[in-house]
Structure 1
């Protein structure tokens, strides 16, 4: 955007669009400046910090997330579907799971998702406080599991993983245990784990029960 030695004008919208194209993983003030052909000082006239830039770009990316609710699904199936939709979207937009992990349920995207869930769980017998507790719990687990899945994918075929796999192969007990586990995909395991979690949450907080915080003695 430099023409004839002078910097062409650009807007905050241009900054956000450039950041969204770059993606949250590679996002930096410098990368946006390079994409727009301007200096970092020019970018800082629109955003006060790298953190503020991440917030603007993160919300712009998550604004594309559209959740689908099937009213015929029972509560557990709905919660698992909610989790699976979060997983698919964040896997398709690297960095968004980590962004949500730091901010959920704060921020515009978290507010929008929780409002969607309050509306969806109301006809299933849940008042707003219970809907928020159920949805926040499921979202936290789904996002955490997705972040872990992404991080595992970055270390596949590394010496550390190969050493760990070799150590497991040396255990006769683990070999027998693994032999009894059917072949499955990461998505299969995610659905298994989130289904079990959703069943536990619904058992702990069935429709009509007020939200309470259990106390444990140590």
Structure 2
């Protein structure tokens, strides 16, 4: 009767493993119009090289580069020709906050009556980017799963008084302008499609990363 050989845990041969601290790079280094830093990890045999940068500070893609060709919308409006180009509705107070937001600014630019109670506390400085307006000439902040909501970060549209549409968020994640996230006739959900877009690996980053490996 044949018996199976039990194999115990092996020690990691560190002489074959690269060392050193990871070196974060900006997503904008790879043509993604976001200022988020990233670290790539790879476990492969042989030498591993970081993907070569495709952009530098002089030609980082900006928010305007990504979204300026889309139809202007008001808060709560949908483009009749593109159901994904839809925007989250705003109440009167948040609408006033959006109108008072300056590109790259903070809530400190608002008049006192628009500020939240936490802004008047010493800890309020920690919320500097919330309700801020994106700078059209710079990369966007990190596209999170609730990027469409101006109360979750610096997500006021650079020139319009609202948050990004789902389509604009997808463009800032480098999806093609005609990419469909739902089947024909399926209802679009801010929460569901926001997660799809915000949690996605930007296609351009995937293309840049796979090549060297």
Q: TM-score per shorter chain, which class? A: under 0.3
Calculate the TM-score normalised by the size of structure 1.
0.24
The structure with more helix, counted as a fraction of residues:
1
Specify which structure has the bigger relative contact order, considering alpha-carbon pairs within 8 angstroms and separated by 6 or more residues: 2
Calculate the TM-score normalised by the size of structure 2.
0.24
